Each structure stands twice: as structure tokens, then as C-alpha cells.
Amino acid sequence: MLINRRRIQIEWGDCDAAGTVFFPRYVEYGDACSNGLFAQVGLSKRAMLKTYNIAGIPVVDLRARFIVPSDFSDEVVYETSITEWGRSSFLVHHKVFRADGVLALEIFERRVWVARVSDDPVRFQGQPIPEEVKKRFTDPATGV
């Protein structure tokens, strides 16, 4: 399983009045880490949208399990991987570790490979994920 690792320094602006990370920031970090995972196999977001003529890979379901808080000046490490592929959706799993190696948080994102509906530019529709995309995650040397 391919894993993207990213270190994140918790800044003052990431925190609530108590100095603890404001929970939506974890989701924002996770989105960047998901993009980083695709970039790791040669699929930057810009290239992916252009190459496959999709509108994006939006999150359609999100779950989080908070174990221990992170505070201002802490460093965390996101480990991001795709744990399940469907026809038009996939499951992204983020494990977030404190610098001491303790698991602080898990986030599960269900994302869908979508294109615009041709007769309605504000509607999107799931599309089959190309097998060549899935293969990059099992054989990262493919197409890179």
C-alpha cells in the first residue's frame, strides 16, 4: 500500500482559543495530503483534471476519530493512503501521529471521481475511475 507522509507544524492560526487545533483544520490538512498522495504517483490535481476531463474528486462522506488533541507548536505527521477502490469512489485513510509516535487522530474520506453533467453545468456525476489510475497506486512506477 502506497503511503504519503507529510509533517505539519501546528501554528497559532490553526488553533481555537484554548490553543488546541480547531477540528476543521485537520480536514484541510487531509485534503492537501490526499492531493499529495496523487502527486506522488504523477497525478497532480491540475494534470489529473486535464488528462481525465473530470471536475474533481470531492469528499462525499467524512468520519473522524479524535484520540488525543494537538496544540499550538506541536508537530504532527499525516500518513495518507487509499485503502479501498470502488468503481467510481475510493476511501482515503489519514492516520495522524504526534511527534512522539502516538496516534492522535484518524480521518476517513470517501471521495468520488466526478465529471460535470453536460446538460447541467452545476451538476456532477460519478464516473468510473480509470484502471490506469488505480494501477499507479499498486505499481507507482506505472506512467510516471
Burial 84-116 (b: 16+ CB within 10 A, else e): eeeeebbebbbbbbbeeeeebbebbbbbbbbee
Q: How many structural domains compose the chain? A: 1
Give the domain CATH number at 10: 3.10.129.10
- What does the pLDDT read at residue 21? 94
Q: Is residue 33 situated within a structural domain?
A: yes
Mean residue pLDDT of the chain comes to: 92
pLDDT band at 4 (very low <50, low <70, confident <90, very high): very high
Percentage of residues in the chain with pLDDT exceeding 70?
96
**What is the SS3 assignment for 44-73?**
CHHHHHHHHCCCECCEEEEEEEECCCCECC
- What does the pLDDT read at residue 42? 92
3-class secondary structure, 41: coil
Write down the pTM of the prediction. Answer: 0.90
Q: Is residue 62 situated within a structural domain?
A: yes
Q: Is residue 82 situated within a structural domain?
A: yes
> Dihedral of CA 52/55/61/62: which sign?
positive
Q: Is residue 51 situated within a structural domain?
A: yes
Please list, in sequence order, all residues whose beta carbon lies within 8 angstroms of the beta carbon of residue 45, skipping any fewer than 6 positions away.
Answer: 35, 38, 39
Q: Is residue 143 situated within a structural domain?
A: no
Q: Is residue 99 situated within a structural domain?
A: yes
Q: What is the pLDDT of residues 79-122, one digit of tens each?
A: 999 999 999 999 999 999 999 999 999 999 999 999 988 777 77
Q: Is residue 52 situated within a structural domain?
A: yes
Average of per-residue pLDDT across 48-77? 94
Q: Which residue would you say has higher pLDDT here, 123 or 11?
A: 11
DSSP state of 127: -
Q: Which three cell numbers stand for residue 66?
A: 479524535
DSSP state of 82: E
Q: Is residue 144 situated within a structural domain?
A: no
Domain range for residue 26?
Answer: 4-138
